Structure formats: structure tokens, C-alpha cells
Amino acid sequence: MRGVDYHFAMDAPRLTVALTIDHDAISDSIRRGDSPVKFSHAEFGPRVGAKRILELLASRAIPATWFVPGHTLTTFTDDTDAILAGGHELACHGWFHEDFAELGLDQTRDVLGRSLEAVRAVTGAAPAGFRAPYWSLGTQTLDRLRTITSRRLLEVRVSVDDVDGTAERA
């Protein structure tokens, strides 16, 4: 049969979307030594934001991938439990939301190992995903990741421009 299989087309999703969420909380504020005001901004996620997003996703039965720094994962354990209870994927996002372009090899290995282990400790499996904070990779980040995980990596680089044309930081 030639042409469009309309039965398939009617049942198949018209668009597939990968919905991902960064739940950074106060991780990068701790690393940077931010002021109390900036800390209070970062507390919005664990106090309010994550719960609202989880409720919205649950109401629509939408699965998502949550990129969560190890510090957030182990500090805000109610959020970690709620993410997993909601059937969402947990993926690696550093420990203190580090800029991997600024890390040396030993630091990269340590941060990746520690943050990958934090995900494994709560899910029982190695994470399948990693998102570099700020979309920033060091020259050896992916090689370190390959070595630690023994996995082939699919590298996806995305930037989102805001109305001013400047790249948004993830």
C-alpha cells in the first residue's frame, strides 16, 4: 500500500517532546558564596517551585527528566522522593552546579563520580543523562564521563536565546 497510513497517523503522537527540568536549588549559591538575598531566590525551588511543577506534571500524566545537582538531591530529599514517586527520571547535573569548563581533571573526575553516585544511591541505577550546568563543558568533561560511566555518549548541545539575543544559562 502506498501513501499515508492514516490509521497510524491518527494514533501516533504528532509531536514528541523531551521535557527536562533543572532543580538546582541553592547548590550554586553555596559554591559561589552568594548573599542571603540570592540564597532566598534559590530556595524558591525546594520550597515552592518543584512541588508546583510535580503537581502539574502529575495532573497531565507527563513524565519528565529532572537534572538535579548532588547537593540538592541529598539535601532536599523530600523533593527527590517526590520526583521518583512521580515516575520521573533523575539525571546528573554536577554536585554544586559547577561550571565544568573551570574544573581541572581531578576536580572533574571527583565531581562527576560523586554526583553520578548520588543519583545511583537513590535510583539504584546509574543515571542515563548528564547536563552540564551552564551548558559549559571542559575539554575533558566528556572523556571523564565516558570513562566513569563506560557508556557511549550522545552529545546534545542546545542554546536558547532570549529576546535580547543572549544565551540563557541552564
Q: Does 22 engage in binding with Zn ion (CB under 5 A)?
A: yes
Q: Does 24 engage in binding with Zn ion (CB under 5 A)?
A: yes
Q: How far is the CB of 163 from Zn ion (least distance, A)?
A: 21
Task: For residue 82, give the nearest of 16, 17, 21, 127 by alpha carbon.
Answer: 21
Determine the Cα–Cα distance for residues 81 and 72; give it in Å rounded to an integer.
12
Binding mask 81-120 for Zn ion (x = CB under 5 A): ----------------------------------------
Task: For residue 140, give the nearest of 88, 105, 168 by alpha carbon.
Answer: 105
- Evaluate the CA torsion angle 57, 62, 68, 72 in order and state its sign: positive
Q: Does 28 engage in binding with Zn ion (CB under 5 A)?
A: no
Footprint of Zn ion on residues 132-151 (CB under 5 A)?
133
Q: How far is the CB of 68 from Zn ion (least distance, A)?
A: 9
Binding site for Zn ion (CB under 5 A): 22, 24, 133
